[in-house]
């Protein structure tokens, strides 16, 4: 593990992924242990939320049934015009409508191609 070689603040770990890795970061946000999470920060770069929307909705609902809060920072980026910007925006709006306590959602978009 990285912690064996470097000083790491284990209370502030981050997980980052781009494209389908961003989708993975989102899934980890939802399935991480709600009592002792491995990560505090999740970074999803231009995730393809158009892929498997029913599964993503199911994961969100299951997570909120376990505990109606997520103690994390969720950083989301999107690529515009040739990226997943519109589906990222739709995903963020859906998450914000849920008003999940303690989940801080941050979004930046970039004028780049995916």
CATH ID of 14-111, from 3.30.300.20, 3.40.50.1820, 3.30.300.180, 2.40.10.10:
3.40.50.1820
User: Structure pTM?
Assistant: 0.92
Statement: residue 60 has pLDDT above 80: yes
Contacts of 8 (CB under 8 A, 6+ apart): 2
Model pLDDT for residues 67-112, shown as the tens digit of each residue? 999 999 999 999 999 999 999 999 999 999 999 999 999 999 999 9
User: Is residue 13 scored above 90 in pLDDT?
Assistant: yes
pLDDT at 16 > cutoff 80: yes
Looking at residue 99, the DSSP 8-state letter turns out to be: T
pLDDT, mean of residues 52-62: 92
Cα angle value 98/102/106 (rounded, 5°)? 75
**What pLDDT is recorded for position 34?**
87
pLDDT number for residue 4:
86
* pLDDT at position 64 over 80: yes
């Amino acid at each position: 593990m990285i912690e064996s070689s470097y000083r790491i603040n284990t209370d502030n770990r981050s997980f980052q992924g781009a494209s389908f890795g961003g989708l993975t970061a989102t899934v980890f946000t939802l399935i991480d242990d709600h009592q002792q999470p491995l990560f505090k920060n999740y970074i999803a770069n231009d995730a393809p939320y158009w892929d498997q929307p029913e599964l993503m909705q199911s994961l969100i609902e299951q997570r909120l049934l376990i505990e109606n809060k997520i103690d994390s920072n969720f950083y989301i980026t999107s690529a515009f015009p040739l990226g997943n910007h519109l589906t990222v925006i739709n995903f963020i709006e859906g998450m914000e409508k849920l008003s999940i306590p303690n989940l801080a959602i941050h979004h930046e978009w970039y004028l780049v191609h995916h």
